[in-house]
């Protein structure tokens, strides 16, 4: 066991979040730092996996949400999916300064609340945001050093190929594209369609999708995604975490096992640190969410 693994073994299993926080997204930052957003007002909590301590790093604002998030290691900029606000935000993790706000509903030419910007991944070329209400991704092109563009550079990429949009149903929330990841070779994106439990490989240049064949299996209520080598960890809300072993071109795979833990309470998204996974308990559907307890649970990757 390495010194890092030994130190990680002392990290707390449960990390508490503020009462009523209503988390959804989590991402790892530099070292053992992490960031968790709030659905209530877009506030962001920053903590340390090692100590389990943290505090509110970005104060919330009325009308904002913070869902999926990702830190670009080149710049340490934090990208945040803004949910029903129809935007993506970028913060400087060194100062907490809001650097950019991208209004995706302007790209769509629609009003807010017809859009759900749910998750984000950053590659060497761009940041890609999912929209859970429609069949495309938002692309924010980045400089080779991670430099941020102006609003005019933002575009949308229609999803074609195997992906089929599930229509909205009155009185019911239908989530299409939700979690997003980039393959370890950087060539492809992978998204999960929550309503069907299907995984798709996506060409980031064209939006062409291919259903990932899991031998007839699905990942119901798929939410956050995280790659660990050829394995893809898929958070399934009340179904816990599926561990999917994918082939070399990410067109097929098998669900080799699931990760269960008695401390899971409707997990939503996932981050990695060392040999551990850190899973946010979103507790969707809990009574009185503004007064409920929320936390993060550490589980081993293997």
Beta bridge partners of 79: 70, 90
Separation CA 237–CA 232 (nearest Å): 16
Q: What is the CA radius of gyration of the chain?
A: 18
97-155 per-position pLDDT tens digit: 999 999 997 665 544 458 999 999 999 999 999 999 999 999 999 999 999 999 999 99
- Residue 79 scores a pLDDT above 60: yes
Give pLDDT tens digits for 260-289: 999 999 999 999 999 999 999 999 999 999
Per-residue model confidence (pLDDT) at position 203: 98
* Most distant CA atoms of the chain, gap in Å: 54
Within a domain: residue 68?
yes
Instruction: Examine residue 115 and state whether it is found in any structural domain, yes or no.
Output: yes
CATH number of the domain at 223, please. 2.130.10.10
Q: Is residue 183 part of a domain?
A: yes
Residue 292 domain flag: no
Range of the domain at 258: 35-49+59-263
* 196 pLDDT higher than 70: yes
- For 99, 206, 211, the CA distances from 155, given in Å and listed in that order, are 19, 12, 24
Domain membership flag for residue 284: no
Mean pLDDT of the chain: 94
In a domain, 219, yes or no: yes
Q: Tens of pLDDT along 44-74?
A: 999 999 999 999 999 999 999 999 999 999 9
Q: Give all strands of the β-sheet with 136-141 in edge-to-edge order.
A: 117-122, 126-131, 136-141, 155-158
């Amino acid at each position: 066991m390495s010194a890092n693994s030994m130190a990680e073994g002392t990290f707390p299993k449960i990390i508490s979040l503020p009462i009523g926080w209503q988390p959804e997204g989590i991402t790892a930052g530099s070292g053992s730092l992490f960031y968790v957003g709030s659905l209530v007002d877009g506030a962001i909590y920053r903590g340390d996996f090692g100590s389990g301590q943290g505090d509110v790093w970005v104060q919330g604002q009325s009308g904002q949400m913070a869902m999926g998030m990702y830190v670009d290691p080149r710049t340490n900029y934090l990208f945040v999916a803004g949910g029903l606000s129809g935007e993506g935000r970028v913060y400087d993790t060194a100062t907490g300064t809001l650097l950019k706000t991208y209004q995706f509903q302007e790209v769509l030419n629609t009003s807010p609340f017809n859009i759900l910007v749910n998750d984000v991944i950053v590659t060497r070329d761009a940041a890609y945001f999912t929209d859970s209400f429609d069949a495309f991704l938002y692309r924010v092109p980045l400089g080779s050093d991670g430099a941020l563009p102006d609003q005019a550079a933002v575009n949308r990429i229609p999803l074609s190929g195997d992906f089929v949009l599930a229509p909205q149903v009155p009185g019911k929330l239908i989530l299409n594209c939700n979690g997003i990841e980039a393959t370890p070779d950087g060539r492809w994106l992978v998204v999960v369609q929550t309503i069907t439990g299907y995984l798709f490989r996506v060409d980031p240049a064209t939006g062409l999708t291919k259903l990932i064949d899991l031998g007839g299996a699905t990942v119901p209520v798929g939410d956050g995604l995280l790659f660990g080598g050829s394995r893809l960890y898929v958070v399934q809300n009340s179904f816990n975490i599926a561990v999917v072993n994918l082939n070399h071109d990410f067109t097929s795979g098998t669900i080799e096992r699931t990760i269960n833990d008695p401390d899971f309470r409707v997990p939503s998204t996932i981050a990695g640190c060392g040999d551990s996974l850190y899973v946010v308990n979103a507790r969707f559907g809990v009574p009185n969410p503004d007064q409920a307890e929320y936390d993060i649970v550490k589980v081993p990757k293997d």
